[in-house]
Chains A and B, each alone.
Chain A
């Protein structure tokens, strides 16, 4: 049987852990407001940009093919007929720390199933977040290679981070002739729920939301080729920025929820231990009284 002292120590330890968890929850909930604002501020840029490229649909589809018979740059970007089907890219966005419930676990599970499915192919991985990087680098397989990793950017994501990631993705995509790049991350739905998203980044799905046929003809300044060569990378970066911000907000929300339920559990534990403590103490007192009564009776007897 545990002594009174042991139980008291136990309660103290749990209480101080609970305090830490509550603090972590408060920090996350304070940061989440900011993260949500950043997300909402970044949304117009990405959506407006998509609208603009959708306006240019005609021009994109009739983009002049180069004379040498190779696939044009724009076509590689949007259609990609000549990518090597044996080479794939994978972007994994996790948090840097645990203590966020299943936030990282669901992403890594999805990543593992992707890697298993494409066992026979060469996979080039881009890791954001320490958890993902550490996990993927433990795979010692020849066909899996980490080509880019960035840790410690949460919870202070800026556009510069997205630029670096976007540039790395584009560089590998074209230089290594990848056939596609897939992205796994947690989308922010609300503070209570995050949604795992796994989808293609490249080739770029250009017209998910094109409404009516728009026949407007555009002029280009300087030329259409120059415009596309600078516009298209920006499209990827703006998209990456949005996704990093979504991940950041989801990560904070997940931490907040995990810490909330953990500190609730700690509260229940403390309560249960309190009951136990009282029982043990009462048992001790009863024993002492019994001793005294027995002693008195022995004297009288």
Chain B
């Protein structure tokens, strides 16, 4: 049996995981993916957009994470994500629609739109799609 540590995963809206014993976590740090095993040095990591995967009981689960933080302690890891979606629940068609919609509103220059919002939306949708694709492989 590999050593386990507990994983807490929260978003502003919801607690996704509470003290789940896991064997490993891969975090989408700003500078690239980062793997964490039990007994890691305490650390605070800023998260970018990407995939968060963890192994519990030999099974791997995956989330698309949209920015946030992770606090790594000796026996637990706390992940604070701005937004998160379970990879298996991501609908690629829906994400494509969102991207199309955001691009449309960006191309209509006259309209009163929030460029940052639209760009963020595209970025989020792309992240979700990427995670979904990875998951399907």
Closest B residue to A38 by beta carbon equals B13
The residues of B that contact A52 with a CB separation of less than 8 Å are 44, 69, 71, 78, 80
Any B CB within 8 A of the CB of A106: no
Chain B window 5-38, contacts with chain A (Cβ cutoff 8 Å), 1 for yes, 0 for no: 0001011111100100000000001110010000
A220 to B78, CA, bound (A): 15
Within residues 179 to 228 of chain A, which ones have a CB less than 8 A from any CB in chain B?
216-222, 226-227
The residues of A that contact B11 with a CB separation of less than 8 Å are 45
A230 to B74, CA, bound (A): 24
A231 to B71, CA, bound (A): 11
What is the predominant secondary structure among interface residues of chain A facing chain B?
helix
The residues of B that contact A241 with a CB separation of less than 8 Å are 12
| A221–B80 touching, CB < 8 Å | no
Whether A216 contacts B73 in the complex (CB less than 8 A), given A49-B80, A221-B29, A221-B31, comes out as yes
A227 to B67, CA, bound (A): 12
A230 to B73, CA, bound (A): 20
Whether A230 contacts B46 in the complex (CB less than 8 A), given A45-B11, A45-B12, A48-B8, comes out as yes
Whether A219 contacts B41 in the complex (CB less than 8 A), given A48-B80, A226-B46, comes out as yes
A158 to B11, CA, bound (A): 12
Any B CB within 8 A of the CB of A44: yes
The residues of A that contact B15 with a CB separation of less than 8 Å are 41, 44-45
Any B CB within 8 A of the CB of A56: yes
The residues of A that contact B12 with a CB separation of less than 8 Å are 42, 45, 159, 162, 237-238, 241
The residues of A that contact B69 with a CB separation of less than 8 Å are 52, 227, 230-231, 234
A158 to B82, CA, bound (A): 13
A48 to B9, CA, bound (A): 10
Choose one: A42, A216, A226, A234; the contact of B13 (CB below 8 Å): A42
Choose one: B10, B30, B44; the contact of A48 (CB below 8 Å): B10
Any A CB within 8 A of the CB of B58: no
Question: How far is the CB of A56 from the nearest CB of chain B, in Å?
Answer: 7
Any B CB within 8 A of the CB of A55: yes
Question: How far is the CB of A62 from the nearest CB of chain B, in Å?
Answer: 15
Question: How far is the CB of B136 from the nearest CB of chain A, in Å?
Answer: 29
The residues of B that contact A44 with a CB separation of less than 8 Å are 8, 10, 15, 18
A81 to B109, CA, bound (A): 45
| B42–A221 touching, CB < 8 Å | no
| A216–B42 touching, CB < 8 Å | yes
Whether A221 contacts B71 in the complex (CB less than 8 A), given A44-B10, A48-B80, comes out as no
Any A CB within 8 A of the CB of B45: yes
The residues of B that contact A38 with a CB separation of less than 8 Å are 13
Chain B window 45-79, contacts with chain A (Cβ cutoff 8 Å), 1 for yes, 0 for no: 11000000000000000000000010101100010
A222 to B48, CA, bound (A): 11
The residues of A that contact B18 with a CB separation of less than 8 Å are 44
| B43–A221 touching, CB < 8 Å | yes
A48 to B15, CA, bound (A): 10
A52 to B76, CA, bound (A): 12
A15 to B19, CA, bound (A): 54
A55 to B22, CA, bound (A): 22
Question: How far is the CB of B72 from the nearest CB of chain A, in Å?
Answer: 8
The residues of A that contact B42 with a CB separation of less than 8 Å are 216-219
Q: Which residues of A contact B (CB under 8 A)?
A: 38, 41-42, 44-45, 48-49, 51-52, 55-56, 158-159, 162, 216-222, 226-227, 230-231, 234, 237-238, 241
What are 15 residue pairs bridging A and B, where the CB atoms are less than 8 Å apart in the complex? A42-B14, A45-B11, A45-B12, A45-B13, A48-B80, A216-B42, A216-B74, A219-B41, A219-B44, A220-B43, A221-B43, A221-B44, A221-B46, A222-B31, A237-B12
Counting from the closest, the 8 A-B pairs by CB-CB distance are A44-B15, A219-B43, A159-B12, A45-B10, A221-B45, A52-B71, A41-B14, A218-B42
10 extra A-B contacts, CB within 8 A, seeds A45-B13, A55-B71, A219-B43: A42-B12, A44-B10, A51-B78, A52-B44, A52-B80, A221-B31, A221-B34, A222-B46, A227-B46, A241-B12
